[in-house]
Chains A and B, each alone.
Chain A
Amino acid sequence: MAEEKGLARARAVYRNRRHRAEELKAAGKKVIGYLCAYPPLEMMTALDIVPFRLLGDINEPISKADSCLPSVVCPFIRSTLDLGLKQRYEFLDGVVMAHSCDVAEKTAHIWNIYLKPDYFHFIDTPHTAGPSAVAQHRGLLAAFGKTLEELAGKKITTRSLKEAIKLHNRQRALVRQLYSFRKPDPPLISGVETLQVMVALMSLPVTEGNELLEEVINEVSRRQDSPPQKKARLLVWGSILDNTSLIEMMEGLDASLVMDDTCVGSRFFWPDVELTEDPLDGLARRYLVDVKCPRTFRQTNDGGKTKDYRADLEARFGYLKEYARDWNVQGVVLQSLRYCDIHGYEVPQVKDYLKGLGLPSIYIEHDYQQTAMAPLKTRIQAFLEILDRG
């Protein structure tokens, strides 16, 4: 795998995520699994611990998780737990999970009970984003740092944390640069390729991820074989997409996926961490306030006498307007996993917002299974026809 470069390497890592992590582990590194976009990776990097994102597998039927998590909860979480129970994550030295959503919080305890990781830490990320919540979050990150230090047998220093923040911010800047290659028509990199790179980044130490990104950027900027031009340029919004099949299906039609707002994509990488004097301040803010996942409750005029719905929508989804403008988006696919409350409640509100922008959207729901993709194709096809008539 080592000889492969750029997109080929990203694809190889995407297809065999654990390979490099296992090599690192064999070489004596510690590898920690994390769920969702909320555990601060910088703190692990600062201690030379490799963060490794826990993902599911839509090609693997869920069997073992049935014995500890009922079937009417998020199928992504169930799949991830199922992989854990099938020992696909046994190479990890431990896991860190956060209160990213209700089911993630509850599954964290279930994971701890059934998988008995040597190291386990739970960050009870607040739901709100006001000053007292940010202060609380900062304290929670400090507590996380302490348990990590025990695991690593060394201390996080201000300097090492700042260095780690710089490395991760560098990764974020490179991801934004890569995404800018999706602005031309046709885009220089497809949605499928982009997702493969994103998954690869979440499976490698930050320095290796940055090298990979540089290679990919170099390759894509000169490529002669860029994806073909398609009629529609789409943005996909919603709950986790960690497998390329849905995007493959869309890009198999007359559409290019040019932008995303999902947590294995822009939502994960977009905001930088501000380099504050005490680095925990910047981290606490970035991970609670700046990451724009609907799991955090935010509103304009917090504490005011009335609610201004339009202003609220603008504050919550204004970034989608910028994405649509800068990536020349013609339609938005709102997708959510079945049983995801966090995204489900958001759907009519994002729709309201997009309608205000004059951007057509479609909502699709799926249950995180390869077989569930086929019926969605007809709906996307119909949506593309509407866009075409536009």
Chain B
Amino acid sequence: MTEKKRPINRLKSMYPLRGLIDGMYRQGLSAAAEGKPVAWCMVNWWQGDPILKAMDVATIYPEDYGAVCAAFGAAQGYLERSAADGFPSHMCGYARNCLGYTGRMMDAGGIPEEAPMGGMPRPTLLLGSGSLCDARYKWFQSLGRYFDAPLWVLELPHPGVKEGLTPGAHETNISFIVAQLGEFVTFLENLLGKKMNRDRLDEITTDTVEMNNWWHKVNELRRARPGPMHSRDFWSSMPASLYMAADPGQTAGLYRRMYDEIKERVDNKVSAINTTEKYRLAFLELPPWHSLGFFDKLAERGWNFVIESWAYHPPRPIDLNGVTDPLERLARYSYHWLTGYYRQAYDAGEWWGYFAYPYLEYVRDYQCDGVVLHPLLSCRTATNHLTLVADRLMKKLKVPSLVIEGDIVDLKLFDPAGALTKAETFEETMDHYKKVRKEAGFSW
């Protein structure tokens, strides 16, 4: 009897990367148990995390914990608690989950017993961020109601495309970030009563860049036909980079192994799905974590998700050789993550240079037949740009989009059966636009 193949051909090299996240929660708990510092952090795109690592602070990401609680069925209780504490229900589900969790934790005098993954220990400090979304500093500010952990907020400038490209703007913004990072280091040194080891930061920064370069190379290979790596493997592997879940040198090695595995697939034309690749798709933004089986159903129909979610991708490589100060390297790196597409956006006459424009390149370079948009009821940031992106993709590349609504914690909002029906109809649309593109002289 032959073994039935699963619809998505998962990468073996993904598993150790995915495993790093469980390790991150464990490390947080053991650090707290040993009386070592623990930070609750917002994703900060490698701006502050390397510094925390250099200071031996364990890091935990309540955004991720929101997804964990939703998946384990624990979120509802926390959401109710945050509503009882007066937080309006239209706000970010991850934030409300965290606020409710924190309320419970303080009442219980420790990690609440129902907390999934062993829970998040009470933090020594909070690292907020002004990147991409307001929740990411306002939410942490609200935690002041529950405990006295100090909060630091990192700035990452978000210039407009034209403004960001005016002479001098780039360097002014870099100087601002460097100044801010310097202040962050002083804050940490004061809080933890020790000096940061600059050599250690230097090493971590180098490894972080190396880690992301391998991760970038992995994603570059995905342009191949058939697509060798499905978005599900991307989402399982991205936290290793985004949350810097382990030592970046170690993670770099794991991404490199992933690169090797995919390279072999590309050389042998092995697809990420076990059915003929009929449609190549992009997915925007956060996936329905609880209903990932939905992608299996689509894979059976020949849908291969070959690229996704700009915000979770590493930046394109930049040359940081010659930048000796590690703080400046971090500043240049994170700023480049946000603004790295501005020049091309400008040339294309597109004025939203991050979050919107990069998809025009993704969809073109990965030759997508369609895009699935996933607007989220309680996350503005992952939703604001979707209508715009759908419009630009149609106007500029003749690539259609399918909208499937959902939410990050209210799992009931995602209707897999209804979504599947929509998807079936969408195949006709994709077929139609394949012809339109061909007639218009596009290469796919």
Contact = CB atoms under 8 A, between A and B. Distances in A.
Mutual binders A and B: yes
Interface of A: 66-70, 72-74, 99, 101-103, 105-110, 112-113, 120-122, 124, 126-128, 130, 132-133, 135-136, 139, 143, 294-295, 297, 299, 301, 303-309, 312, 336, 338-339, 341-342, 344-349, 351-352, 363, 365
Contacts of B351: 109, 112-113, 120
B142 A70 contact: no
Given A109-B352, A341-B380, A342-B138, A306 B150 contact: yes
B172 A139 contact: yes
Contacts of B155: 126-128, 133, 136
Given A102-B380, A297-B137, A309-B144, A70 B159 contact: no
A299 B141 CA distance: 9
B385 interface: yes
Best-surrounded residue of B149, B151, B160, B169 (most CB of chain A within 10 A) = B160
B163 interface: yes
A347 to B, nearest CB: 6
Which of A107, A109, A113, A307 counts the most B-chain CB atoms under 10 A from its CB? A109
B130 A363 contact: no
Interface string B73-88: 0000000000001111
Contacts of A297: 128, 130, 137-138, 141, 153
Given A109-B160, A341-B134, A347-B88, A70 B375 contact: yes
Interface stretch (B10-18, B48-56, B183-191): B183-191
The 6 A-B pairs at the shortest CB distance, nearest first, are namely: A122-B160, A109-B352, A345-B138, A348-B86, A127-B130, A132-B179
B141, B161, B166, B169, most chain A CB atoms within 10 A: B141
A341 B383 CA distance: 14
Contacts of B152: 303
B88 A106 contact: no
B383 A73 contact: yes
Contact of B387 (A70, A105, A304, A341): A70
A113 B350 contact: yes
A299 B151 contact: yes
B160 A303 contact: no
A387 to B, nearest CB: 19
Given A132-B176, A297-B153, A341-B134, A352 B352 contact: no
Given A106-B352, A132-B176, A143-B169, A124 B386 contact: no
B275 interface: no
Interface string B389-405: 00100000000000000
B136 to A, nearest CB: 9
Given A110-B388, A338-B90, A124 B157 contact: yes
